[in-house]
Amino acid sequence: MAKKCALTGVGPQYGNNVSHSNCKTRRRFVPNIQTVSFVSEALKRSVKLRLTAATIRTVDHNGGLDAYLVSTSNTKLTDEARKLKRAIKKAQAAATAPAAA
């Protein structure tokens, strides 16, 4: 499995370890990936995702998965997240359509 966030696409970065004698060796800075289940109220089911710890905090701060995806620009989301966002918007539209009629 790739060390990549499912919503933001954050992956490993590369850099150098620099010793006291200033010798440089390559290294990876790997993101803190966690497997998390979020409940989508629009889809009425649980969604299991691999997210960075920072993204989990951001989703919680925005009021849940549905609110985060709806408020975030498509350019900042991965393909998987855009698919989920479309499904959520479709479910929200279907939920409000019968109530309006």
Residue 100 domain flag: no
59 in Cβ contact with 65 (< 8 Å): yes
pTM of the model: 0.86
Number of domains in the chain: 1
Residue 22 domain flag: yes
Give the strand pairing for 24-29 and 13-18: antiparallel
Residue 6 domain flag: no
Q: Tell me the average pLDDT across 71-78.
A: 95
> Angle at Cα 7 formed by Cα 46 and Cα 34, nearest 5°?
70
CATH code, domain with 27? 2.30.170.40
pLDDT band for 95, please (50, 70, 90 cuts). confident
59 in Cβ contact with 68 (< 8 Å): yes
Residue 46 domain flag: yes
Residue 71 domain flag: yes
What digits encode the pLDDT tens for the residues 35-50?
A: 999 999 999 999 999 9
CA 55 to chain centre: 6
- The domain of 53 spans 13-94
Residue 84 domain flag: yes
